[in-house]
Structure 1
């Protein structure tokens, strides 16, 4: 592990940018060693059959053409858990949000496959998560160099101020811009975020985001981890992560599946 990666902190400039715009890019989050290790772990977990993680669609399915995705990979591979629960990533998330504590919600390995690839349409994340409060966010770590040819991300600045909108079907999407016509958000120009492998973005769960199709010959690999401020409460909405866990509506989401990863030092 390089000293740069081990000692990396988040600047106030980055924090201010995130809070104003709803996303921020950070270069060189992972050292070369960490990047190679995470690539190996992800390959192992994606190739494994069965287990406790969830493959959201099979090859040939309509969603698979948007994303080949496994959720909660940490449950099947300790190496993935090392990164999904990484205290450095969680502490950056805590600083960005200003939360007293940050809890893990879930991870997902995201492969945008070559061939018949489809874009990930403009959408918000938080509208799918069973949370009453806002503030939850994602880190999206690039395991490959990403640009518009293989599925880099785009964000609409300040769109996190729109509040919760209608969920977008990622296979048969509606135009999210229809919900913000006539507002300042509609005037914002989307920002394309190409990155080198080992870099990342953080984005608020309400920020409009999109990923290009993959027109290259190789999968585009990324690891996303979702965090929530400690004290976030359960809305009762059905979700594959929280279903069958006997969570109580309007009570904090916590327990063995949602560890506290970072706390403010008094």
Structure 2
């Protein structure tokens, strides 16, 4: 696993990302800004409605415009620009929190499969996974299959077991788990991965919480399918100009109607899954 030394990615860093589909980076945010994000997250976590799982804190930016302070952080966008180009949209976000003792697993998957009705091409997104807790194998860190981001035919099946956040998973016959690499992160470290990278994570049965903030971005040359999903998902122009005729929402105001239109047990592309959040990186 290669760890970049700064937000200014070297040629070696970019080559590693192209070859493997992921990269890790230390100290993504200035310390004070990172501490403010953790405080903001803890406040939101403490206020979860009764019966809502911590893993289900999806698209929090729809109802909490304050989160764009971090989603549109200039340093974060500088990093993303090196991967998608100068014209950037915020695609989505998720506070992914596995509580101690019964944190749910995330089966092997690639994100593009779940986004195929939302962005075209669905392969055109990158995820920045920022650690809000220290994460390792003990508390269910993400694992990746290096080089698996190369597009190809993949078979999905209904998820088996009851501890998963998804209702679909990659057929295990198509995943070589012997090649899996754990993404161990300390506070304010992050991983970056392609939408087509195969990844997943185990349940958190430890006495430590595992929380992260996923920030997802696309080039504005990627087309957002506003006609089909615009009533339950929106994207936001973060930098540069539009290049695909996309419709962008206002990041300064809340959009509770998007969450309401998704409905209970639905992800933002309208695909039902019983009792859980929409698919996303684990």
TM-score normalised by L of structure 1: 0.74
Q: 207, 222, 225: which is aligned to 1:232?
A: 222
- Partner Cα separation in structure 2 for residue 167 and residue 149 of structure 1: 27
Q: Is the 8 A contact 1:38 1:79 kept in 2?
A: no
Q: 204, 210, 219: which is aligned to 2:200?
A: 210
Q: What is the CA deviation profile of residues 43-97 of structure 1, one whole-angstrom value per residue up to 9, with x for unaligned ones? A: 22233468xxxxxx944xxxx4xx6232232344344221122222122122123
Equivalent residue, structure 2, for 1:141:
130
Q: 100, 117, 121: which is aligned to 2:103?
A: 117
Equivalent residue, structure 1, for 2:78:
91
What's the secondary structure of 1:160's corresponding residue? coil
Q: CA deviation at 1:29?
A: 1.5
Equivalent residue, structure 2, for 1:127:
113
- Which range moves more in the overlay, 131-140 or 113-122? 113-122
Q: Is the 8 A contact 2:7 2:78 kept in 1?
A: no
Q: Is the 8 A contact 2:55 2:96 kept in 1?
A: yes
Q: What is the CA deviation profile of residues 90-123 of structure 1, one whole-angstrom value per residue up to 9, with x for unaligned ones? A: 22122123x3422101111110112222321111
Equivalent residue, structure 2, for 1:40:
39
Equivalent residue, structure 2, for 1:77:
64
RMSD of aligned alpha carbons: 3.1
- Partner Cα separation in structure 2 for residue 123 and residue 155 of structure 1: 10
Q: CA deviation at 1:147?
A: 0.5
- Which range moves more in the overlay, 114-123 or 18-27? 114-123
What's the secondary structure of 1:17's corresponding residue? helix
Q: 186, 196, 209: which is aligned to 1:196?
A: 186
Equivalent runs, 1:161-180 vs 2, <5 Å: 161-163=150-152, 165-166=154-155, 169=159, 170-179=165-174
Answer yes or no: is 1:254 the counterpart of 2:242.
no
Equivalent residue, structure 2, for 1:17:
16
Q: Is the 8 A contact 2:109 2:169 kept in 1?
A: no
- Partner Cα separation in structure 2 for residue 41 and residue 156 of structure 1: 32
- Partner Cα separation in structure 2 for residue 233 and residue 224 of structure 1: 21
- Partner Cα separation in structure 1 for residue 191 and residue 234 of structure 2: 33
CA 1:196/1:49 → structure 2, altered by over 3 Å: closer, same or farther?
closer
Answer yes or no: is 1:155 the counterpart of 2:148.
no
What's the secondary structure of 1:92's corresponding residue? helix
- Partner Cα separation in structure 1 for residue 203 and residue 177 of structure 2: 24
Equivalent pairs counted in the alignment come to 231
What's the secondary structure of 1:203's corresponding residue? strand
TM-score normalised by L of structure 2: 0.70
Q: Is the 8 A contact 1:214 1:220 kept in 2?
A: yes
Q: Is the 8 A contact 2:65 2:251 kept in 1?
A: no
- Partner Cα separation in structure 2 for residue 257 and residue 237 of structure 1: 17
Structure 1 stretches of 5 or more lacking a match? Answer: 51-56, 181-185, 260-266
Q: Is the 8 A contact 2:226 2:234 kept in 1?
A: no
Answer yes or no: is 1:243 the counterpart of 2:238.
no
